[in-house]
Homo-oligomer: A and B are copies of this chain.
Amino acid sequence: MSSTGDYPRMIDPDLAVQLVLDVVGGPEAEVLALEEAVGRVLAQDARADRDYPPFRRAMMDGFAVCSSDAGQTVEVIGELAAGDPPRFEVTPGRCVAILTGAACPPGADAVVPLENVVREANRVRLPSVVPGGAHVAAMGSECPAGTVLFQPGQVITPLVVAVLATWGLTQVRVWRLPRLQIVSTGSELIPCHQTPSPWQIRNSNGPMLAAMAQKMGLARPAVRHVPDCLDAIVQALDEAHEADFVLLSGGVSAGTYDLVPKAVAAWGGRIVFHKVSQKPGKPLLVAVRGRQVVFGLPGNPLACHLGFDRYVGPAIRQRLGRPPLAQPCAGILASPVRWKGGRTFFLLARAQAADSASAPWSVEPLSGISSADLFTPSRANCYIRLPPGQGELAPGTRIPFTWIGTLE
């Protein structure tokens, strides 16, 4: 069987990702309070508005002195703790007791640590050598004012939050989260909190897709369900006008009740592609109208999951200003794999830390009983990719794998 014989319009899975990224467009900026921006990507330069340290900072508990007083006994005229204004002036013959983190007073050019002096009531004897600048961090020595702290593209990690807070950058321009609307279709499905009749099944794709979006850091998307009815699907698309991405599940194959392609066309969407040479998830459809992108994901749960992970995930990452394509990791196959077919095969697997110097991950493929079976593969945390044709890999084979649903 040739990969194009049965499905003349099927496209290559890598081309499909590229077409998705082409229509998704670049990220859009918004301004957020710093504490709301954790995990986002900066859409601006961040500059230091002042030197750091912003004053000559004492690095030890001790005495702020004139270094020219080395070997002398000098008078202690006061004490400065961290946060105190440097309200004394140090002149030869006088010093100020100082605590770590405090600003050195004018006139003092060195700090002598507590343990290096001999104290006599209100006076201290200084050591015979006091290097100028000792135990004092000069203004701007760690970061001078005007430094570009970060450039656009920087992920806001907790350490980056600390730097931005240090320089008072409490409002930051970041790439905004794309808004998702999930629409599951299928007349056999009922909401998962209802009791099904014997011929009905509970909707699992809606909650699964919402969870995938949450795992990528998006707000929990709205989820709605419509029956296999052309008008209902078109109406759901119309009502999703605030969404950047609309995720439909089900109704995308070639059967009588597979109404998604017709509904998308009726709604005015331009179909970018329909059917990808992959297993599972062949019937995947992607369409665009204005700036909205519609993903017609298959109803089969594993196909739906792969459709999100391989196509919606990169679209989300591109909108967030992250590298869209996840880097594969290297692992060692834990059990054999055999495959056959004209399409690229994406197989869910479980990677676990291995005690091996040559590959840190042991990868166990999780073959389901059928393509609709969800129970067996639910332990998966990654997938492996197997080429069209047939093949067999023995345990111990080195194999690349891709984590499911990560931002990076």
Closest to A205 in B: B162
Contact B149 A375 (CB under 8 A): yes
Q: Report A279-330 residues with CB < 8 Å from chain B CB.
A: 299, 301, 305, 327, 329-330
Contact B256 A162 (CB under 8 A): no
Residues on B with beta carbons closer than 8 Å to the beta carbon of A23: none
Contact B228 A55 (CB under 8 A): no
Q: Report A164-221 residues with CB < 8 Å from chain B CB.
A: 165-168, 170, 186-189, 192-193, 195-212, 214-215, 220
Contact B170 A381 (CB under 8 A): no
A155 vs B35: C-alpha distance when bound (angstroms): 27
Residue A70 at the B interface, CB < 8 A? no
Known: A204-B165, A329-B360. A378 touches B160 (CB 8 A): yes
Grouping DSSP codes into helix (H, G, I), strand (E, B) and loop, the A interface class, with mixed when no group exceeds half, is loop
Known: A137-B370, A214-B38. A228 touches B82 (CB 8 A): yes
Known: A55-B199, A207-B162. A157 touches B378 (CB 8 A): yes
A378 vs B42: C-alpha distance when bound (angstroms): 14
Residues on B with beta carbons closer than 8 Å to the beta carbon of A327: 353
Closest to A356 in B: B330
Residue A107 at the B interface, CB < 8 A? no
Known: A157-B211, A193-B168. A378 touches B186 (CB 8 A): no
Known: A137-B370, A163-B378, A373-B142. A170 touches B193 (CB 8 A): yes
Residues on B with beta carbons closer than 8 Å to the beta carbon of A59: 370
Known: A161-B207, A215-B158, A374-B166. A99 touches B142 (CB 8 A): no
Known: A158-B208, A369-B141. A200 touches B378 (CB 8 A): no
Residue A398 at the B interface, CB < 8 A? yes
A299 vs B103: C-alpha distance when bound (angstroms): 16
Contact A158 B201 (CB under 8 A): no
A256 vs B98: C-alpha distance when bound (angstroms): 10
Residue A10 at the B interface, CB < 8 A? no
Contact B198 A54 (CB under 8 A): yes
Closest to A79 in B: B256
Minimum distance in angstroms from A367 CB to a CB of chain B: 13
Contact A158 B212 (CB under 8 A): yes
Known: A137-B370, A257-B99. A405 touches B158 (CB 8 A): yes
A329 vs B353: C-alpha distance when bound (angstroms): 9
Contact B380 A159 (CB under 8 A): yes
A285 vs B21: C-alpha distance when bound (angstroms): 50
A50 vs B50: C-alpha distance when bound (angstroms): 66
Residues on B with beta carbons closer than 8 Å to the beta carbon of A158: 208-209, 211-212, 215, 305, 404-405
Q: Report A226-285 residues with CB < 8 Å from chain B CB.
A: 227-228, 253, 255-257
Residues on B with beta carbons closer than 8 Å to the beta carbon of A329: 360
A55 vs B199: C-alpha distance when bound (angstroms): 6
Of the stretches A11-19, A83-91, A124-132, the one at the interface is A83-91
Contact B372 A142 (CB under 8 A): yes
Give the 5 A-B residue pairs with the shortest CB-CB distance, closest first. A83-B188, A83-B187, A162-B208, A158-B211, A82-B188
User: Which A residues form the contact surface with B (CB < 8 A)?
Assistant: 34-35, 38-39, 50, 52-55, 57, 59, 61, 81-86, 99-103, 137, 141-143, 147, 149-150, 156-163, 165-168, 170, 186-189, 192-193, 195-212, 214-215, 220, 227-228, 253, 255-257, 299, 301, 305, 327, 329-330, 348, 353, 357-358, 360, 368-370, 372-375, 377-378, 380-381, 398, 404-405
Q: A82-B257, A158-B405, A165-B206 are in contact. List 13 more A-B contacts (CB 8 A).
A: A34-B192, A55-B199, A82-B187, A101-B188, A147-B375, A157-B381, A158-B209, A162-B208, A163-B374, A165-B192, A166-B202, A168-B202, A357-B398
14 contacting pairs across A/B (C-beta < 8 A): A81-B256, A82-B187, A83-B187, A85-B197, A85-B199, A86-B199, A99-B256, A99-B257, A101-B186, A157-B404, A162-B205, A162-B374, A166-B204, A360-B360
